[in-house]
Amino acid sequence: MARISTEERQVLIIDEAIKIIHEMGYQSFSIRELSTRVGISEPAIYRHFLNKEDIVLGILGRFNEFDVKLFNEVKLNEKPVEKIQCFVQYHFNFLEKNPGMTSIVFAEEIFNQSSLIREKMLSIMEKRKRILKDIIDEAKLGNQVIDLETDEILMVILGIIRLAVLEWRMSGFAFSLSKRGTKTVDTIGKLLLVKK
Amino acid sequence: MARISTEERQVLIIDEAIKIIHEMGYQSFSIRELSTRVGISEPAIYRHFLNKEDIVLGILGRFNEFDVKLFNEVKLNEKPVEKIQCFVQYHFNFLEKNPGMTSIVFAEEIFNQSSLIREKMLSIMEKRKRILKDIIDEAKLGNQVIDLETDEILMVILGIIRLAVLEWRMSGFAFSLSKRGTKTVDTIGKLLLVKK
DNA sequence: TGTTTGTTAGTGAACGTTAACTAATTACAG
DNA sequence: CTGTAATTAGTTAACGTTCACTAACAAACA
C-alpha cells in the first residue's frame, strides 16, 4: 500500500519472514503469508526479491551481522579464558533477545532448499567455529585449558550451547536463556579451565 | 501391485518414508512420492494408514524399538561408568547403521506437523534423557563422576553426542561415526570420570 | 516523462484426500 | 472338498486447495 524504498521494504520483509518461520515453521512460510503480513500484494514481494531463495539468503545475511558483533565483543576481553566466557554468554544473550533466529538455525529443511543456501549456512557455521577455535588455541598456549585436543574442547562447548538452546526452544522459551548461559559458563569453567 | 498383508505393507511404507525424508528432506515426503517408491497407488497408502500424520507416528514408533534395545544393552554392564560408555557408543553404532534416523531427529519441521506428533517426540526424548540420568545418578553415588549437577553432566554428554551426529550429517556421512564415538567416549572419560 | 513501487487477475503444478470400482484372498455352509 | 459370500488390498479418476511466480496495468515520485 504505502510506497517506500526497496531498501526499507527489504528490511521489513526479512523481519516478517523470520517471524513467520519462528511462529509457524518454515512450512508455513509462503509468499502469500509473507505479503499479507507485510501489508502488500504477493507480486509486490517480487519487486524487492528475485525469488523465495533470495529472501532466505537475506535472512541468512542477518547471521553475518551477528558474527561481526560477536567478534567485536569477544575482542574487548584480554585473557583467552574471558574470551571463551564472553563467546558463550554473548550467544545466549543475543538469542534471548532474538528467539526467532534459533528457529532458523534449527530448521534444517531451510538448508535443503538449494545448494546456494546450504553453502552459505555452512560457511556461517564454519566461520563461527573458527572464531572459537582460535581462542581455544590461544588459551592452550598459555596452559589455561586442560590438555585435550582443540577439536574435542570445541565440541564440548558448541555442543552444550546448542543443546541448551534446543531445550530452551522445546520448553517454549519458558526459562531465561541468559541465566542458563551463566550456568553453562560455570560448567565449562569447571570442566575445561585449569584451576590456579 | 502385488497383494500383501497390511502388517507387511506398513513396514515397507515406513521403511520407504524414512528413506525419502533422509534422501530428499521432509518437504519432499509426499504421498505421491511415497506410493511411487513403494510401488502402489496413492489411495492404496490409505488402506494401511489413516492419514499422513499416522505414517509419521509410525516412523516415531521405530524410536521406541531403539530405546528398548538401548536399555537392554546398557543393562548388560555392571559398573555405572561402563553403562555411560555403552550408552554413548551404542548411540553412535546404531545411527551409523541407520543414518536415516538422524534425518528424523534433526527435522524439527516434523514435530510441528501436529500436537500428537510433537508430544510423542517429546516423550521419546524425555525417556532417553531419563535412562542416562539414572545412570549418572548411580555413578555419582559411587563417586565415579566429578562433582557437578547431574543435569549439567547430562547436558555435556547429550550435547556432544548431538553435535557429533550433526557434524557427521553435515559432512555427508563422510567419516565413521562409530570411531568418532570412541573418541567421544574417551573425551567424556577425561572430562567427567574421577581418575583412580 | 520515465522509473519505481504498487495493484488485479491468472498461470501450471503439486498437495492430501476421497469416491467408485475391481481383483485377490479368506471364511464358512453344504 | 467345493461354491459362494464377505472382506481386504489394489486400481483410475477426480476433488478442492495451495503453491511460487508472471503478465499487464496504474499510480506515485524524481
DSSP string, A170-183: HTTS-S-HHHHHHH
Strand partners, B145: B193
Q: One-letter amino acid identity for A181?
A: G
Domain membership flag for residue B85: yes
Is B115 in CB contact (< 8 Å) with chain A?
no
Task: State the maximum Cα–Cα separation within chain A, in Å, rounded to a whole number.
Answer: 64
Domain membership flag for residue B160: yes
SS3 assignment, position A50: coil
pLDDT score, position A196 = 56
Is B108 in CB contact (< 8 Å) with chain A?
yes
Contact, B147 vs B61, CB < 8 A? Answer: no
pLDDT score, position A147 = 93
- Same domain? For B67 and B160 the reply is yes
- Same domain? For A80 and A9 the reply is no
Name the closest residue (CA) to the C1' of nucleotide C5: A3
Domain membership flag for residue B54: no
pLDDT score, position A20 = 98
- Same domain? For A96 and A143 the reply is yes
Q: Report d(CA A43, CA A40) in Å as an integer.
A: 8
- Same domain? For B117 and B172 the reply is yes
User: Which CATH number do you get for residue B118?
Assistant: 1.10.357.10
Is B26 in CB contact (< 8 Å) with chain A?
yes
Interface of B with A in 65-84 (CB under 8 A): none
pLDDT band at B196 (very low <50, low <70, confident <90, very high): low
pLDDT score, position B1 = 67
Which residues are within 8 A (CB) of B2 and not within 5 positions of it... i.e. 6 or more apart? B39
- Same domain? For A12 and A107 the reply is no
CA distance B49 to chain A (A): 23
Q: Which among B122, B125, B162 is the nearest to A162, CB-wise?
A: B162
Domain membership flag for residue A54: no
Chain A positions in Cβ-Cβ contact with residue B112 (cut-off 8 Å) = 25, 27
Cβ pair B164:A148 closer than 8 A:
no
Is A27 in CB contact (< 8 Å) with chain B?
yes
Q: Report d(CA A176, CA A152) in Å as an integer.
A: 28
- Same domain? For B148 and B82 the reply is yes
Nucleotide nearest to A47 (CA to C1'): C5
Q: What is the mean pLDDT of residues B82-106?
A: 97
Cβ pair B155:A148 closer than 8 A:
no
Show the domain range for A106.
59-192
Domain membership flag for residue B84: yes
- Same domain? For B98 and B1 the reply is no
Question: What are the start-end ranges of the E strands in chain A?
Answer: none
Chain A positions in Cβ-Cβ contact with residue B129 (cut-off 8 Å) = none
Domain membership flag for residue A185: yes
CA angle A13, A14, A17 (to 5 degrees): 90
CA distance B8 to chain A (A): 30
Q: Which among A122, A183, A184 is the nearest to B170, CB-wise?
A: A122
- Counting residues of chain B whose pLDDT is more than 90, the rounded percentage is 97
Q: Which single residue is written with the C-alpha cell 519441521?
A: B109
Q: What is the mean pLDDT of residues B170-191?
A: 96
- Same domain? For A27 and A84 the reply is no
- Same domain? For B76 and B143 the reply is yes
pLDDT at B74 over 70: yes
Q: Which nucleotides of D are covered by protein (CB under 7 A)?
A: 8-14, 18-24, 28-29
Q: What is the mean pLDDT of residues B135-139?
A: 97
Interface of B with A in 87-106 (CB under 8 A): 106
CA distance A62 to chain B (A): 21
The distance from CA A64 to its chain's CA centroid, rounded to whole angstroms, is 9
Task: Verify if strand C has an atom below 7 Å from the CB of A3.
Answer: yes
The mean pLDDT value of chain B amounts to 96
- Same domain? For A43 and A63 the reply is no
pLDDT band at B195 (very low <50, low <70, confident <90, very high): confident
Contact, A24 vs A102, CB < 8 A? Answer: no
Q: What is the mean pLDDT of residues B53-76?
A: 96
| Counted domains in chain B | 2
Whole-model pTM? 0.95
Cβ pair B156:A159 closer than 8 A:
yes
pLDDT score, position A2 = 85
Identify protein residues whose C-beta is within 7 angstroms of any atom in strand D: A 3, 28-33, 42-43, 46, 51-53; B 1-6, 9, 40-44, 47-48
Is A62 in CB contact (< 8 Å) with chain B?
no
User: Which CATH number do you get for residue B13?
Assistant: 1.10.10.60
Helices A6-24 and A31-38: crossing angle in degrees, nearest 10, is: 120
Residue A10 burial (C-beta neighbours within 10 Å; 0-12, 13-18, 19+): middle
pLDDT score, position A93 = 97
- Same domain? For A93 and A174 the reply is yes
Task: Going from the first residue of chain A to its last (196 residues), give the mean pLDDT of each consecutive group of 10, the final group possibly shorter.
Answer: 93 98 97 98 98 98 94 95 97 97 97 96 95 96 95 97 97 97 96 82
Q: What is the pLDDT of residues B10-35, one digit of tens each?
A: 999 999 999 999 999 999 999 999 99
- Same domain? For A30 and A68 the reply is no
Chain B positions in Cβ-Cβ contact with residue A165 (cut-off 8 Å) = none
> For B47, how many CA atoms within 13 A lie in the half-sphere containing its CB?
13
